[in-house]
Chain A
Amino acid sequence: MTREEREVREELAGRVQAFGRSLHIRHVDAGSCGACESEVQALQNPFYDLHRLGLFFTPSPRHADLLLVTGPVTRAMERPLKMAYEAMPDPKVVIAACGPACGGGIYGRSYATLGGVDAVLPVDVYVPGSPPHPLSLLHGILLALGRIEQKIGREEHVAGRVS
Chain B
Amino acid sequence: MDEMVRIERRTGERPERTRWGGLRLSMPPERLAYVVPALAVEEDARFVAEFASERDGRFYLHAVVEIGGTYLILEAPLAGGRFSSLALELPAADWPEREMKDLFGLTPSGHPHPERLVLPEGWPEGEHPMRKGFAREKEVELAPPERERPIMRDPVEGDGVFHIPYGPIRSGIFESAQFVVDTPGEKILRLHLNMFYKHRGMEKIFEGVPLEQAPLVAERVSGTDSFAQSLAFCEAAERALGVEVPPRARHWRVILSELERLYNHIDHVAKQCEAASLNVANARFAILKERILRLNAALTGSRYLRGVNRVGGLRFEPGALEGALLEELAGIERDFTRDERLLRRTDSFLDRIVSAGPLSREDAAAHAAVGPVARGSGIDLDCRRDHPYAAYPELDFEVQTASAGDADARFDVRLREAHESFSLIRQANGRMPEGPVHAASSAPEPGAEALGWAEGARGEELYYLRFGEGGALDRVKVRTASFANWPLFAKTTDGQVLTDFAFMEHSFAMSQAACDG
Contact = CB atoms under 8 A, between A and B. Distances in A.
Are chains A and B touching in the complex at the 8 Å CB cutoff? yes
Interface of A: 27-42, 44-47, 57, 59-60, 71-72, 74-77, 79-81, 84, 105-113, 130-131, 133
A35 B511 CA distance: 10
B120 interface: yes
B398 interface: no
A40 B170 CA distance: 14
Contacts of B160: none
B346 to A, nearest CB: 20
B217 A106 contact: yes
A30 B200 CA distance: 10
Nearest to B284: A46
Contacts of A57: 172-173
Nearest to A110: B136
A131 B168 contact: no
B197 A76 contact: yes
Given A33-B220, A76-B121, A84-B169, A107 B201 contact: yes
Among B139, B173, B283, max chain A CB count under 10 A is at B173
Interface residues of B, number: 54
A34 B224 contact: yes
A73 B129 CA distance: 18
A34 B223 contact: yes
B287 interface: yes
A112 B201 contact: yes
Contact of A133 (B217, B224, B267, B303): B303
5 contacts: A29-B175, A33-B226, A74-B120, A80-B168, A107-B201
Contacts of A107: 200-201, 205
A106 B220 contact: yes
Q: Pick the 3 closest A-B CB pairs, nearest first.
A: A35-B223, A59-B171, A33-B223
A45 B136 contact: no
Given A35-B224, A47-B290, A77 B200 contact: no
Nearest to B196: A76
Interface in B159-196: 168-176, 196
B197 A77 contact: yes
A156 B186 CA distance: 61
Contact of B139 (A31, A47, A71, A111): A111
A77 B198 contact: yes
B137 interface: yes
A72 B200 contact: yes
B176 A131 contact: no
Given A31-B197, A59-B171, A112-B129, A76 B220 contact: no
A106 B216 CA distance: 9
B138 interface: yes
B267 A38 contact: yes
A106 B205 contact: yes
Contacts, number: 141
Contacts of A133: 303
Question: Max chain B CB contacts within 10 Å: which of A36, A108, A111?
Answer: A111
B289 interface: yes
B512 A46 contact: no
Contacts of A76: 120-121, 168, 196-199
A161 to B, nearest CB: 29
A72 B222 CA distance: 14
Contacts of B142: 75
A109 B136 CA distance: 9
A107 B512 CA distance: 17
A51 to B, nearest CB: 12
Contact of B290 (A42, A79, A80, A113): A42
B248 interface: no
A34 B204 contact: no
B34 interface: no
Nearest to B514: A34
A131 B303 CA distance: 9
A111 B129 contact: yes
B455 to A, nearest CB: 18
B223 A109 contact: no
B175 A74 contact: no
Contacts of A41: 173
A82 B50 CA distance: 36
Between A28, A42, A74, A108, the greatest number of chain B beta carbons within 10 A of the residue's beta carbon is seen for A74
A50 B348 CA distance: 28
Contacts of B223: 32-38, 131
Contacts of B221: 33
Contact of A110 (B137, B172, B225, B267): B137
B134 interface: yes
A110 B204 contact: yes
Contact of B286 (A29, A45, A105): A45
Contacts of A30: 176
Interface core residue of A31, A36, A41, A112 (most chain B CB under 10 Å):
A112
Nearest to B223: A35
A80 B120 CA distance: 12
Contacts of B172: 57, 59
